[in-house]
Amino acid sequence: MKKPHYSRHNLPQVKKEKSSISAIINRKFYQNLRARGRSNQYIFDMIQPERREQFFKDVHDRITVGKPEDNQEKLNWAQKLLKSIF
pLDDT, the chain, mean: 77
pTM of the model: 0.52
Residue 50 domain flag: yes
pLDDT digits (tens, 9 = 90+) for 50-81: 898 898 888 887 776 555 555 456 667 777 77
Instruction: Give the total number of structural domains in the chain.
Output: 1
Whether the per-residue pLDDT at 20 is higher than 50: the answer is: yes
Residue 34 domain flag: yes
Residue 70 domain flag: no
Residue 25 domain flag: yes
pLDDT at residue 75, as a whole number: 66
Residue 29 domain flag: yes
Q: Which residues constitute the domain of residue 31?
A: 19-65
Residue 41 domain flag: yes
Residue 52's alpha-carbon distances to 7, 25, 41, 48, 85, in angstroms, are 44, 14, 12, 6, 38
Residue 35 domain flag: yes
pLDDT at residue 10, as a whole number: 74
- Percentage of the chain exceeding pLDDT 90: 5
Residue 58 domain flag: yes
